Structures are given as structure tokens and as C-alpha cells.
A and B are shown apart, each in its own frame.
Chain A
Amino acid sequence: MTTRWTRKDLLGLRELTADEINFVLETTDAFKQIGTREIKKVPALRGKTLVNFFVEPSTRTRTSFELAAFRLSADVINISATTSSLTKGETLKDTARNLEALQADIIVLRHSSAGAPQFLANRLKASVINAGDGAHEHPTQALLDLYTIRERRGKIAGLHVAIIGDILFSRVARSNIFGLLKLGARVTLVGPSTLVPRDFEKLGAEISYKIEDVLPNADVVNLLRIQHERQRREYFPGLGEYIRLFGLTKQRAKLLKPDCLIMHPGPINRGVEIDSEVADGQQSVILDQVTNGLAVRMAVLYLCGGIAS
């Protein structure tokens, strides 16, 4: 392994090389091991300050980053949209500069606008980690998905991964598409035509509007959450129709290969994109994803935050 990590920021998977992605996954192996120790904490980022800056609500991603930072001995401050001065009209740039004036070393940013992390990264000395920006990228989610697939199947190249649901508005889908294709997987996007535009074929993914065609030959199905809170009516067929056409029901799950992995970035809408029994079944690795997410985020924080600025 000759690749070295030289980036202070993690903004997306689009800009990473396959070697860099593999390097993060291999580093994750080491951090996952810490979870099995009696003392689940290492001093790697001792004395560093991490700011969890979540302008959009999130529990699991924020908690995962927070716990990852604790395990690396960093100090953590959480700022959410409602507690920040953004509600008082402060610009993103001013808020960030104030954070930097407080000597924050790492800023984990979740923002509704695509490109917000890039904007900060270009202007700040601190490391910026993208925890999801608009419908753009969610790199740590994709990395933990890749890690989980690699852990379960021993490889990624050559596997056929189906990503099912609202692709158009999904940053998880975009980051997964970039990562999976770079590592040599075959990717098929499945969903209503309004949410799976043909444009995605330009990225190298295949497209299908019929879930039954895809399930029997998939090695992994990654179900995206139907974000009904932000769903625009003109794109979405309606919940009942969606379940009928694209939900991973118990019945449909029988079409899957026995060793096909079922993934979901959470939170799950039980009975919508996935049936309860399927989500809790043998093939589901949804909770592995959560455990691996912690290790992946430790690796990312260590790599970006551990480099001398």
C-alpha cells in the first residue's frame, strides 16, 4: 500500500481516486478494531477541537461523528441550525470564521446547500468534513456502505449493486455511485422515472424502472429512505403507489439471491421502502452499517485532522 493521504478535507467521493478510497477503507480496519478493546479510546486527536456544525437536522450522523471524535480524544462542540446565529442572519462564512477564531481544527458540516463544505474548505485552515450537502454528496455514508460491502463480500469490484428509491434528490446515492464505480462495481439505479433521470447514465450507472428485473441479479440492494418530508408532489407517485411499485416487500425479497446484502442508510420507514421483516432479516446488514459508520468516521477524522496544517 503506497498511497498516502494528503487531503485536509473530505468533500465528496467524486474527487477521490480509487486508491484513496481503498486507503480510507484499510485505515478503517484499524479503527474498527478499537471498538473491541476494553478502553475504546485512543489519543490520536488529543487537543484538537471538532465542531459538529449541522445546519440541517440529523441525529445519527451527528452522533456518529461525535462518538468518533470522542474515541479519538478530540473535544467536541455541537452547533445546530436553531442554536447558531444563522437564524439571526449571519452568513455561513461569518459563522465559520468565528468557529475558526475559536481555534476549531475540524469542522463537520451538514448543510442544505450543495457546495457549502467546499465553500468553507476553500476559505478556512481547518479541516472540513462534508456530512451531507443538499442533494450533492454524503461521502462518509458512501464510505461506510463500501466498507460494509467489502467486509461482507470480501471485495467490491465485479459486484452488482442496486440503489433503489429517490435517486434524484439523494446525496447518498450520488456518493455511492461515484465510490462504487471507481472501485469497479456495476451500479443499477431503480425508481420512478421522475426520480431516476436518464442523466445518471452519463456517470456510468445503469437505470431500471422495474425492480423485479433487477432484484434477482443484484449482489447488494441499497434502499434509500423516501424523504416524504421534502418530497415534491410533482416528482413522487404517492406513497401507496411507491410501495406497490418499488417497496422491498417480503414477497419481492424472495427474488433476491440468498447472499444478496440488504442495506439502508437509515432512518428506515418500515413498510414503505422496506418491509419490517426484511429489514430485520438474515440478509440485512443495516446495523453493521451503523457500527462501521463509526469506524469510517474515526478513520476520516484521523486522516484529515491528523495532517499538519
Chain B
Amino acid sequence: MDAQAIRRALRRVAHEIIERNPGLEGVVLAGIPLRGVEIARRIAAFIREIENVGVETGVIDVAMHRDDVGTRKELPVVRASKLPVPLEDRTVVIVDDVLYTGRTVRAAMDAINSFGRPARIQLAVLVDRGHRELPIRPDYVGKNLPTAAREQIQVGLQETDNEPDAVWLERG
């Protein structure tokens, strides 16, 4: 995917979020660092452009909710989460770049629950590459990219990676 394809995909996701959530009442876009945060920001910008409504964005760090702490030689960097509280009656849209096993999303849901009990949680991803290990499915998908397990999806974004927007496949 090039920059234009990414822009179109996120714009369509923004449209779908607007359709699914009438009036965008109580919607918060919670990005998973690093790229999820940037993608959430962009989706929020599209929503503002399309509907002239500002939706809140947040940060949901999953490092301390992962199920593989203690099994890695290197720990993921932990960052502070930032969500509007109370979460009750709100719709939290988890935003990430690539959906793979679903474990990160499970960790994100656990993290959200420790802030409170939102009315609903939805999931928006730029790329769904398949290979789920948990019963999790996305509500909004920028692009489905079927992959083999040994392949890797790479996402580069101007703001987080300092390179032109792109999504590509790397064979391991």
C-alpha cells in the first residue's frame, strides 16, 4: 500500500465508524502505541473533515497487560495509557496498525477494563493479516492482506517512522 492507498483506507474506516456509531456519541479512538496512536489521530482528522465532529482520542498501552512477560529477552517499552474517564456509556474503538494473532487486542481490552466498563469496545485496524490465535475479529479493516506465518507485514508512517507512508510484505 502506498500513501494514497493508506489515506483512502483510513478515510473509508472513518466513514464506517460514523455509520456504525450514530452521532458519534461517546466515541473515543484509543490507539495502541506507536503506530496505532498515529492512525487513531488520522482517523479522528478524517471524521472531523467528513462530519465536522471532534472525537476524542486516547492511548492504550498494552505492554504491562501482555501474556508473554517473562518469556522474552527484551521487554517491550511501556508507555503511559491515556483514556477519558469515566468510560461508562462510552464506545472505545481500539486502533492498531496490524491485526495478527489477536493477543495485543486482548491485552488492550484488559487494559481498557482496568479504567472502567465501557458500553462497547470496537476494533479498527489498518491491515488484517490473518492467523488469529484468539476469538477476536475487527469491526473496521483498512485492508485484508492474507499472509503466510513466516511473512511479515511492515508498516511505515511519516510521523512515527520518519519515512513515507507505506505497507509492504517481507518474506522471512
A-side residues, CB < 8 A to B, are: 1, 4-6, 27, 29-34, 37-45, 47-48, 72, 299, 302-303, 305-308
Cβ of B164 under 8 Å from chain A: no
A4 to B74, CA, bound (A): 7
Bound Cα distance from A308 to B80, whole angstroms: 23
B80 proximity list for chain A (CB < 8 A): 29-30, 32-33
Which candidate, B17-25, B113-121, B144-152, is the interface stretch facing chain A? B113-121
Q: Is the interface of A mostly helix, strand, loop or mixed?
A: loop
How far, in whole Å, are A1 and B33 apart by their CA atoms in the complex?
Answer: 14
Using a CB-CB cutoff of 8 Å, which residues 44-82 of chain B contact chain A? 61, 63-67, 69-75, 77-82
Question: Smallest Cβ distance from A44 to chain B, in angstroms?
Answer: 4
In the complex, what distance in Å separates the CA atom of A72 from the CA atom of B66? 12
Number of A-B contacts (CB under 8 A): 74
**Among residues 110 to 129 in chain B, which have CB atoms less than 8 Å away from a CB atom of chain A?**
110-111, 113-116
Closest to B66 in A: A44
Interface residues on B, range: 20 to 34
A33 cross-chain contacts in B, Cβ below 8 A? 80-82
Instruction: Tell me whether B114 and A307 are in contact (CB under 8 A).
Output: no
Residue positions of B touching A, CB distance < 8 A: 61, 63-67, 69-75, 77-82, 85, 110-111, 113-116
**B82 surroundings in chain A (CB, below 8 A):** 33
B116: chain A residues within 8 A (beta carbon) = 38
Most chain A beta-carbon neighbours within 10 Å: one of B63, B67, B85: B63
A272 to B116, CA, bound (A): 45
Say how far A71's CB is from chain B's closest CB, in angstroms: 10
Would you call B85 and A43 a contact (CB within 8 A)? no
- A303-B75 contact, Cβ under 8 Å, with A32-B80, A38-B85, A42-B65: yes
A-B contact pairs, 23 of them (CB 8 A): A4-B74, A6-B73, A27-B78, A30-B61, A30-B80, A32-B80, A33-B82, A34-B64, A34-B114, A38-B85, A42-B64, A42-B111, A43-B67, A44-B64, A44-B65, A45-B69, A45-B70, A302-B64, A302-B78, A303-B75, A307-B75, A308-B71, A308-B72
Contacts of A305 in B (CB 8 A): 70
Besides the known contacts A299-B78, A308-B71, 14 further A-B residue pairs in the complex with CB atoms under 8 A apart: A4-B74, A6-B74, A34-B114, A37-B114, A41-B114, A42-B114, A43-B67, A44-B63, A44-B65, A44-B66, A47-B70, A302-B78, A303-B75, A306-B75
In the complex, chain A residues whose CB is within 8 Å of the CB of B61: 30
Complex partner residue of B75 from A4, A39, A48, A72, CB under 8 angstroms: A4
**Neighbouring A residues of B74 by C-beta, 8 Å:** 4, 6, 307
Residues of A within 8 A of B85 (CB): 38
Q: Are the CB atoms of A1 and B81 closer together than 8 Å?
A: no
Select one of A32, A38, A47, A299 contacting B114, CB under 8 A.
A38
Complex contacts, B66 vs chain A, CB 8 Å: 44
Closest Cβ of chain A to B121, distance in Å, is 16
Q: Report whether B81 and A30 are in contact in the complex, using a CB–CB cutoff of 8 Å.
A: yes
- A43 near B65 (CB under 8 angstroms)? yes
